[in-house]
Structure 1
């Protein structure tokens, strides 16, 4: 086990006294620094940057324990950061933050090596839980990491990608008509709080 992994390991599955280092990559400075303060309050060493190139430099120089990156950073993709982590710091845990409607890109991020992804807005405890560093009993009651309609959408896209975008096979696995699946994919991600109803 390398030093970074050792710092994050805890027998109860929650973060310990020496919580390790986190790099937050986001061009939304207000959100990034609010998240950084929350992690600092929990004992982590936190660094924030707002560009892909700077993030890649930090990953190569300091090998943070966790990298949290937005999917879109100015006119660049956070997926470039994920690829850099895989090449330069393979033991680093990575999480991609996505906005609604970007679930497809998040699936791609996982395939590129991202440890997890999570929809914005997300708080520190939600992120730590998704990364397996915080026991669920420590998270606020009734917190939903992804709303039910988005979870359903995510599942549909995951199945579709898993079949190599085979519409007929995906419809069979999802137990729905092919035309229904086509309409849902064409319409895109549902609005927050709205669950689409499709006739079979």
Structure 2
């Protein structure tokens, strides 16, 4: 079994540049995605933290990027501006385990080409990166559950407060610890 190392992970490269930066702190997911991206002809560089991602991006200058929203040392969306300065036109997809409408809107406004909730299939990430429509999705027919509506509202206020937990709790008239517990959990089913 080949050991994944931070930085470069080799892959075949076509005639056009297909350099991809993958930033995720989940080692198993990162390894699976690297294999899938390499099969698709991407040259992949990886990072497991925000700090490492800044260093790798500066040296690698990617054409594509897949960024985890919540990293142990920050938020993946912080990288979007830097990546766009390094390579105008870079296509970025944000991955998250904490899916919300508010954070997806923030990511898309910041310049991400896509926003996907974990668990995610590698083929879905590749299709989003390359701008290929997914015709297999059925439209949502049921309205969101009350728990999901509450979750979305909390996420929207959290984003409006620039991810400041204390300010969000104050605006929602909620105890800060209660809010932290809510934010640490995955989104309820729609």
- Mapped contact 1:71–1:96 kept (Cα < 8 A): yes
2:113 and 2:137 map into 1 onto residues whose CA distance is 21
- Mapped contact 2:47–2:56 kept (Cα < 8 A): no
Q: CA deviation at 1:31?
A: 0.6
Q: CA deviation at 1:113?
A: 1.7
Q: CA deviation at 1:17?
A: 6.8
Q: CA deviation at 1:34?
A: 0.8
Q: Match of 2:115?
A: 117
- Mapped contact 2:45–2:60 kept (Cα < 8 A): no
Q: Match of 1:79?
A: 77
Q: Match of 2:57?
A: 59
Q: Match of 1:168?
A: none
Unmatched tracts of structure 2, length 5 or more = 1-13, 161-181
1:144 and 1:98 map into 2 onto residues whose CA distance is 21
1:140-192, CA deviations, whole angstroms, 9 ceiling, x for partnerless residues?
Answer: xx467999767x97xx88xx89xx9xxxxxxxxxxxxxxxxxxxxxx999623
The alignment status of 1:37 with 2:24, answered yes or no, reads no
Q: CA deviation at 1:89?
A: 1.9
Could you tell me which of 91, 98, 101 is aligned with 2:96?
A: 98
> TM-score when scaled to structure 2?
0.61
Unmatched tracts of structure 1, length 5 or more = 1-15, 165-186, 196-200
